[in-house]
Amino acid sequence: MIGKISRKFFEENIINRIGAVRKDVTVPPRNGVDVGIIAINGSYMAVTTDPLYIDRSFGFKKAAWFAFHILASDLFTSGIRASYMSIDLNLPEEITDEQFNEIWDVIHGECEKYGIEVVTGHTARYAGVSFPMVGGVTLMGVGDKYITTENASPGDVIIMARSCGLEASIILAYTFPEYVREKLGNNTLKAIQNKFYTMTCVPEELMAIDYGIGDRITSMHDATEGGLLNSVYEIGYASGNGVMIKYNGIIIDNDIAAICSLFNINPMRSISEGTLLLTVKPEYANEFTEMLRKNGVNASIIGEVTEKARGMKLVQNGKESEINPEEDQLWGAVSDGIRRGLK
């Protein structure tokens, strides 16, 4: 498969071989959990790592912004603000100093904006390295409490912020703009491309942190690999519960639905950086949903966390179906588009 390894591979090959087991690691690597947590003198350090993903079809400035926010969106799901960055830049030989500085100026600016300092790293050009994977980044933050998807409980309401299929549709629009323009028109192409800077969960996560984590917001999870349905499944899996979501509450923007249909992918099964799932105590769900909307974020209550025995369910047209983890549908569509010579 292309993209992240499967849950099965992770559990069979990695999870039982993670070195020495330390008592201060309160959240080790787990399926469906975006961060690790380390207890330090009464506080907690949240840690997350991702590739440095620089997709040149976005242009270097946009690509660097996106690379930062992929990582930051994971870290902030912990309910802890980011403070420290470690970055490894394994750059292609052909990258120029000017191109490097386009990338680094953006990373510096985003770190400065969110109060993050780069504390260590490595930078070099190497033969055999190619875009888009040109290194790795670790982000860390310290707080007095934290949440993960493990903290979701039966009765919690599930809220989604922004449309599913967001990242997938934007990648397709930037990778095959001529084809999208020909089939869907220039207005739809531009509308999707103009969503670029919505591919982050950080503003909504900061709102949730300020609103109250633990007693109000019980967990956060960004809908990345495998899309909305995989992410809903991961909330249930990580917390040891079931989930019940209703199709008529799920947000799918019209332009996103159009491009996903054009490439024959399901927006609910396609990567969607920028789409945030939150589990919220029921007495706060309506208030927080309205708070998101008042801040210009399309948000919807889509379901609830249930007892484990009820399983993972999607309700559509009055019928229940099982939600199971599946491979992300975007990467096959991109490979097929390249094979077909789409531009």
Categorize the per-residue pLDDT at 335 as very low, low, confident or very high, splitting at 50, 70 and 90.
Answer: very high
CATH superfamily, domain 7-143, is PurM-like, N-terminal domain (3.30.1330.10)
What value does the mean pLDDT of the chain take? Answer: 96
Cβ-based burial of 16 (10 A; exposed 0-12, middle 13-18, buried ≥19): exposed
Query: Rounded distance, CA 262 to CA 283, Å?
Result: 40
Query: Rounded distance, CA 175 to CA 158, Å?
Result: 33
132-189 pLDDT, tens digit each: 999 999 999 999 999 999 999 999 999 999 999 999 999 999 999 999 999 999 999 9
| Residue ranges, CATH 3.30.1330.10, the chain | 7-143
Q: pTM of the predicted model, to two decimals?
A: 0.95
Helix (H, G, I), strand (E, B) or coil at 141: strand
The share of the chain scoring above pLDDT 90, in percent, equals 95
Fold of the 149-339 domain = Phosphoribosyl-aminoimidazole Synthetase; Chain A, domain 2 (3.90.650)
| Residue ranges, CATH 3.90.650.10, the chain | 149-339
Evaluate if residue 4 carries a pLDDT over 80.
Answer: no
220-252 pLDDT, tens digit each: 999 999 999 999 999 999 999 999 999 999 999
119-145 pLDDT, tens digit each: 999 999 999 999 999 999 999 999 999
Query: Rounded distance, CA 233 to CA 228, Å?
Result: 9
